[in-house]
């Protein structure tokens, strides 16, 4: 599902420099990534999603070399194939919760917005216990509610790859388990792959494999 080779990335002229000799995640795997803050875990997710592009090397997702696609094609591929749960939510303040969840369908022709999709959006919101918040705007939500809305948006297109950046970071223990169950249910029900960055080591037992990002600091392949 994910294949990275000889990747190098640098933020502008800054000191941060990420090198990933080789990184692979198989189809249907549930993989957790751990490591110290600032090591490049979020950057790796952004490179896989095509939000960032490497200085050298290749990034492929489901046999498509994302790193070589033009900007517009990269965006369409990401929206149609990758569900990204951002650490800082990335909700749009001028849209209510329902329209935030539906937003991927409004910005690309790669997805078709219809009644089935709207019904699925409401069902996800019900599962996330935010069905009564669909007409609210992000500034009227708690951090946990924003996180749940962001997860609904990521799961709505039923993506084959789910990238989660601290998806349970703003939730209490009970809701954390609910969110984790929904992520794993989506992986199982849609033959998807899950790559999750987390600092919560209690969650690691739920994953097939755990990667310590410190390996990349030592030039290792994973």
In this predicted structure, what is the pLDDT of residue 199?
A: 87
Q: Provide the mean pLDDT of the chain.
A: 90
Tell me how far the alpha carbon of residue 212 is from its chain's centroid: 18
Query: Residue 124 in contact with residue 156, Cβ under 8 Å?
Result: yes
Q: Provide mean pLDDT across the span 69-78.
A: 93
User: Among 10-19, 25-34, 92-101, 183-192, which stretch is predicted with the lowest mean pLDDT?
Assistant: 10-19
| pLDDT band per the 50, 70, 90 thresholds, residue 219 | low
Residue 112 has pLDDT above 90, yes or no: yes
| Positive/negative CA dihedral, 66, 70, 71, 76 | negative
Residue 220 has pLDDT above 60, yes or no: no
- Higher-pLDDT residue of 168 and 21 is 21
pTM: 0.90
Residue 211 has pLDDT above 90, yes or no: yes
Residue 213 has pLDDT above 60, yes or no: yes
Residue 153 CB contacts under 8 Å (≥ 6 apart), including other chains: 100, 101, 102, 103, 104
Residue 179 has pLDDT above 90, yes or no: no
Total Cβ atoms within 10 A of residue 21: 16
What separation in angstroms does the CA of 29 have from each of 5, 35, 151, 194? 19, 19, 19, 6
The structural domains of the chain, with segments of one domain joined by +, span 2-217
Strands (E), 35-187: 56-61, 64-65, 82-85, 161-165
Q: What is the largest CA-CA distance in the chain?
A: 50
Q: Provide mean pLDDT across the span 15-31.
A: 92
CATH architecture label of 2-217: 3-Layer(aba) Sandwich (3.40)
Total Cβ atoms within 10 A of residue 91: 21
| pLDDT band per the 50, 70, 90 thresholds, residue 22 | very high
In this predicted structure, what is the pLDDT of residue 217?
A: 58
Region of residue 78 (phi > 0: left; psi between -120 and 50: alpha; otherwise: beta): alpha
Q: What is the pLDDT of residues 133-159, one digit of tens each?
A: 999 999 999 888 998 899 899 999 999
| pLDDT band per the 50, 70, 90 thresholds, residue 32 | very high
In this predicted structure, what is the pLDDT of residue 37?
A: 83
- Higher-pLDDT residue of 193 and 108 is 193
């Amino acid at each position: 599902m994910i294949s990275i080779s000889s990747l190098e990335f640098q933020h502008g002229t800054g000191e941060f420099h990420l090198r990933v000799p080789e990184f692979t995640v198989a189809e249907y795997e549930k993989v957790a990534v751990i490591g110290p803050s600032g090591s490049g875990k979020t950057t790796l997710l952004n490179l896989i999603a095509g939000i960032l592009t490497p200085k050298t090397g290749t990034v492929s997702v489901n046999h498509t070399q994302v790193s070589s696609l033009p900007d517009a094609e990269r965006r369409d591929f990401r929206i149609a194939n990758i569900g990204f749960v951002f650490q800082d939510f990335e909700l749009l303040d001028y849209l209510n919760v329902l329209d935030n969840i539906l937003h991927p369908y409004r910005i690309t022709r790669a997805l078709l917005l219809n009644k089935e999709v709207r019904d699925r959006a409401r069902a996800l919101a019900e599962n996330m216990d935010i069905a009564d918040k669909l007409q609210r705007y992000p500034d009227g939500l708690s951090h946990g509610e924003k996180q749940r809305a962001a997860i609904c948006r990521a799961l709505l297109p039923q993506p084959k790859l789910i990238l989660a950046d601290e998806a349970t970071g703003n939730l209490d223990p009970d809701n954390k388990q609910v969110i984790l169950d929904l992520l794993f249910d989506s992986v199982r029900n849609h033959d998807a792959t899950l790559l999750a960055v987390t600092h919560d080591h209690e969650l690691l037992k739920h994953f097939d494999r755990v990667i310590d990002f410190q390996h990349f600091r030592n030039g290792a392949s994973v």
